[in-house]
Structure 1
Amino acid sequence: MTPLIAFGEALVDMLSNRLDGAADDLPETFTPYAGGAPANVAVACARLGLPSRFLGMVGEDRFGDFLVEELARHGVMVEDVCRTREARTALAFVSRDAHGERRFDFYRPPAADLLYRLEHLPAGIFAEPTILHLCSNSLTDEAIAETTLSIAEIARRGEALVSVDANLRANLWPDARVDIGRVTALLDQAHLLKLSREELDLLRGDHEAEAWLQWRLAAGVRLIVITDGPAPVAVHRLGQVLHIDPPQVRAVDTTAGGDAFIGGLLAQLAAADVTASTFSDWCQDEDRLRRAVELACRCGAFAVTRPGAYSALPTRDDLDAMT
């Protein structure tokens, strides 16, 4: 199996007990759940039985302890998680509407995950074939962006298969303005790229969607998957687009849906020993690709029916019970 390495933020989602607009005389309370998009993906793969490790930095505080313990409890290797006293672990206060859609209020920056630097990267980590997964939330200030883009370049030189989920959160960026050029620079380091429909529309600007996607494919991306809530997933590869219907479920909390989806897809690549050098050939088998995306859709559908992130991610037994 090809091991997965996820790099970026681990943070604590403080999930509200109250749905937006609900009549409730009780005080609003928040329950802590371990989260952070790349950390979620590491857990998603581990819960599906794949070797998975997390790279990042958390504070030397109770929330940092909580995250490391939760990652390890779900089977993620945490030996290379760094700790710091220079900043606290990031928090995200999450409110939900009646459909499980979320509103985030982030306590970041400052935050510990933004202090990770190349000097913290373990020597030789990309010496063997691996899958590296990244998100755009480690691009939100200049120093961590430089680190993230450098890690992606090092991984590519080491022939790692690079996966990127845009996972845009505008309110993490200065003045809530996403640096589209910086994000695109990371997207173009990917072999596998995941976007939501809303992210595609933001990133492409005034360009036609198809033209923008073709530019990414021409830059070296081999597979682009575009999710759109309960609508069909669009799967783009050179010369062909597939549309795959996800299972229809009642969403309770969409926090981990996209991470469960990409984690499920990466777990299948890892289980099949797919590497950067074999990924293009893997993508050309339409039946295999369709089955892989269908399973990823099931992972996402399972996750949104439960609150939180790590504990909402499916195991193999959970997926078998859905059929």
Structure 2
Amino acid sequence: MNIKQNKHVLIYGDAFVDYIANDSSNTEFTKFLGGATVNVAAGISRLGATASFITVTGEDETSEFVRNELAAEGVDLTYAKVIPEKRVSGVYVHLTSNNDRIFYKYVDETPNVQVEYFTLDKPAFQNASLFHFCSGTLFHPVALNTTKEIVGSLKELGTFLSFDANIRPLRWESEEICRATIISFFKDVNLLKLTEDELFFITSTETLEVGIEKLQYYSIPTVLITMGEEGAYIVMNEEIVHIPVVKVDPVDTTGAGDAFMAGILRQIHLYGTPTTIDLWKDYVSFGNKLGAICATKFGALSAMPRIEELN
């Protein structure tokens, strides 16, 4: 293994609480910890690597729930912030009479309470083997600036930078701002992960081939495009390789992409950055396996695979 002692995977993002209706009356709900970066952090920890999560919570009961859940997953919160007035964002999910889940509403009572770059402890950066972020917080000016500053600082240190677009259009003022903001990070990152639909959105195209061709303009060292049950594509140095996934009977694909990403980042943390497309094939096969395992279980964070499941 290439990893040095006391290093961690550093992740920045928002924690969410999913309020899932207990039945189709949609009057009582059960709380679940959620969010793409939360899932990835917990997924990495479940795979035996160290994940440090930069986020902000408050001093209310829901924030305490979030911190306790993350601690139970083994996620390091040394560099997370507690600001008393912060309220963790919530997503309410209703159930139909057919037990289908539908998004009902998104609640963010304190959107302006964000992590500010100047408050961050610099050892977080110095001890990072790599840094991972999503676009989920980039719509907010303070969070956007914090992300830019972290990326700039870590780029100077030569740290590996990973970006999962994870696009949620409803959080943005417009599609144009969303697209431009995400693209603005392409010049800095070492790894970009997209779904097929996100590739089409970013490149304003309708086919995989044309989308990949347009993406080449940004000279991103490695791009991973996930295709669900069709596996994933690796794009590196203008070479394109498809990696299939073992077929499973999915029961819930929520979080499968986060499990995939947790696997990729865990491998980079433990074994170093792949320098050839053949090495990337091994990493992506590992990520595919994790995504498939996740899809065989209900939930998102609760479905993140543990290291012992891989056998």
TM-score, scaled to structure 2: 0.88
Q: 1:51 maps to what in 2? A: 50
- 1:249-284 deviation digits (Å, cap 9, x = unpaired): 333333311111000111011111x2xxxx3xx230
Match of 1:213?
215
Question: 1:29, CA displacement in angstroms?
Answer: 4.3
**Structure 2 CA distance, aligned partners of 1:178 and 1:32?**
32
Moved more, 95-104 or 247-256: 95-104
Residue 131 of structure 1 aligns to a residue in which SS?
Answer: strand
Q: Where do 1:6-155 residues align within 5 Å?
A: 6-17=11-22, 26-27=25-26, 29-94=28-93, 103=103, 105-108=105-108, 110-111=110-111, 115-128=114-127, 130-155=129-154
**Match of 2:85, as an amino acid?**
E
Match of 2:283 among 275, 278, 292: 292
Equivalent residue of 1:241, what SS? strand
The runs of 5 or more residues in structure 2 that have no matched partner are none
Is the CA contact 2:216–2:238 (under 8 Å) kept in the aligned structure 1?
Answer: no
Measure the CA separation in 1 of the matches of 2:51 and 2:27.
Answer: 36
Total equivalences in the alignment: 302
Aligned AA (1:210): I
CA deviation profile, 1:196-234 (whole Å, cap 9, x unmatched): 011111111259313322123x2xx22110012212311
Mapped to 1, the partners of 2:227 and 2:287 lie a distance apart of: 14
CA distance in 2, matches of 1:173, 1:190: 22
Q: 1:193 to 1:60 in 2, by over 3 A?
A: same
How far the C-alpha of 1:101 sits from its partner, in A, is: 8.2
What's the offset of the Cα at 1:96?
A: 7.7
Partner SS for 1:54: strand
Classify the secondary structure of the residue corresponding to 1:152.
helix
Measured against aligned partners, the alpha-carbon deviations of 1:128-166 in whole angstroms (never above 9, x if no partner) come to 452100000111122211111121111111211111100
8 Å CA contact 1:13, 1:308 repeated in 2: no
Unaligned runs of 5+ in 1: 19-23
Q: Determine what percentage of the aligned residue pairs are the same residue.
A: 26
Determine if contact 1:162/1:192 at 8 Å carries over to the other structure.
Answer: yes
Q: Give 1:302's match in structure 2, choosing from 281, 293, 301.
A: 293
How far off is 1:104 after superposition? 6.7
Q: Which moved more, 1:145-154 or 1:40-49?
A: 145-154
Q: Supply the RMSD in Å over aligned alpha carbons.
A: 2.5
The secondary structure found in structure 1 opposite 2:137 is helix
Given the two structures, how large is their TM-score scaled by the length of structure 1?
Answer: 0.85
The equivalent residue for 2:178 is 179
Give CA deviations for 1:90-121 in whole Å, capped at 9, x if unaligned.
11224589998874732136347x51111221
Task: Specify the code of the residue in structure 2 equivalent to 1:283.
Answer: T
Structure 1, residues 281-320: CA drift from partner, whole Å, max 9, x if none?
Answer: x23051x322211110111112222233322111111121
